[in-house]
Amino acid sequence: MMYSTLDSAAISWKTTYFLTLQSYFILRDSLTVVGGKTKVTEEKASFAELMRLNKRLTELESRYRIATRWNRNDAQYAEVKIAYLKEMQQRLKVSLWATVSRRHYLLKMKAKYADGQKIAKKLCKGITKETCTARKLLDALNTSLSQADETFVPLALADVLSPVSEFWQCPNQASSEIPVSIKRDIIEAHLLLKRCDEELLLLQTEMHNVIDYYNEKEKKIISVLHKITSDGTSQFHRGCISLLRKLQLEVELFRSIAVSAYASVITVPKSHPLVDAGHMCVIDASDSSDSEYESSSDGE
């Protein structure tokens, strides 16, 4: 926990007191003593601001019963300073990470377009903007880290611009999780996979519909064959039966081709049981009528 020695109520006023005191010290340090007289840089404005800060400090000290004003060597001052710097560094890192991730995403988008295209120019402007923002955030982060550790070596912009750089791989970095760009790719792949599953279901439904279509068509052909066979055995009827049986064979052929083509995707019976039963009945009836016709022809 960042404020391990401070309770939540104490954080607010102690941080406020620290920031006010820090501003007061910085402004006071800008004063120089020449010949026993105090010279204020930008005299009136600076002195007025110094008085305002001093008044604010006095109010805080009275409200929170601070007997002696903190100085830079006090343990309380150092404690709150470290806690504040850690919080600020964490916020700067989060903002910097978001900026670097956006820039990385824009670079990936730009790679898909030619440099002369209008959208590529817009992406270039966005990349430049994010780079400038990253530079400002990095400057602030370097300043904060230098205040916390005088031996700290400032980071270069190139050290943090890539989401996969060593800076973001540190286990202590809260932003060293999976990069946003990679998360976005994972989400897009997940949505694409779901869409593929939906398309596969639609294709399977269409395949079943094709098989059902051929089954229903053959049922209708068989129904007509039954009716014609029962009506009579004239040459007209036998001609109709021959044409219908030819059509039935074509339907069976198309259905067989469809079943073979769809076998790796769906499971369907190679033939419909009702269709087979009807088909056998028609074949028997038509065969008997054909034999009668052949017998009568021989007798003539």
Tell me, what's the pLDDT at 195?
84
pLDDT band at 262 (very low <50, low <70, confident <90, very high): confident
Tell me, what's the pLDDT at 273?
47
Q: How many CB atoms lie within 10 A of CB 150?
A: 6
- The domain segmentation of the chain, as residue ranges, is 1-70, 84-177, 192-299
Place of tokens 């006023």: 13
pLDDT in tens, 266-298: 887 655 544 444 444 444 444 444 444 444 444
Q: Picking from 14-28, 157-171, 185-199, 276-290, which range would have the lowest pLDDT averaged per residue?
A: 276-290
pLDDT band at 216 (very low <50, low <70, confident <90, very high): very high
Taking a C-beta distance cutoff of 8 angstroms, is the pair 290, 239 a contact? no
Buried b (16+ CB within 10 A) or exposed e, 243-259: ebbeebeebbeebeebb
Q: What is the mean pLDDT of residues 168-179?
A: 54
What is the pTM (predicted TM-score) of this model? 0.46
- The residue that leads in pLDDT, 26 or 250, is 250
Tell me, what's the pLDDT at 250?
92
Taking a C-beta distance cutoff of 8 angstroms, is the pair 119, 113 a contact? yes
Amino acid at 103: R
Amino acid at 144: S
Instruction: At 37, give phi and psi (nearest 5°).
Output: -110, 145
Q: What is the mean pLDDT of residues 96-116?
A: 80
Tell me, what's the pLDDT at 298?
47
> Is residue 106 pLDDT above 60, yes or no?
yes
H or E segment and range at residue 32: strand 32-34
The C-alpha atoms of residue 143 and residue 154 are separated, in whole angstroms, by 8
The C-alpha atoms of residue 263 and residue 257 are separated, in whole angstroms, by 10
Residues in Cβ contact with 272 at an 8 Å cutoff, skipping those fewer than 6 apart = 215, 218, 219
* SS3 state at 39: strand
Q: Picking from 55-59, 200-204, 230-234, 252-256, which range would have the lowest pLDDT averaged per residue?
A: 230-234
Q: What is the mean pLDDT of residues 63-84?
A: 85
The C-alpha atoms of residue 276 and residue 256 are separated, in whole angstroms, by 13
Place of tokens 């005299």: 43
> Is residue 105 pLDDT above 90, yes or no?
no
Mean pLDDT (the chain) is 76
pLDDT in tens, 233-244: 778 888 888 899
> Is residue 177 pLDDT above 60, yes or no?
no
Q: How many CB atoms lie within 10 A of CB 141?
A: 20
pLDDT band at 60 (very low <50, low <70, confident <90, very high): confident
Amino acid at 239: G
Sign of CA dihedral 10, 11, 16, 17: positive
The C-alpha atoms of residue 124 and residue 118 are separated, in whole angstroms, by 10
Sign of CA dihedral 216, 219, 224, 225: positive
Residue 189 token pair: 């792949």
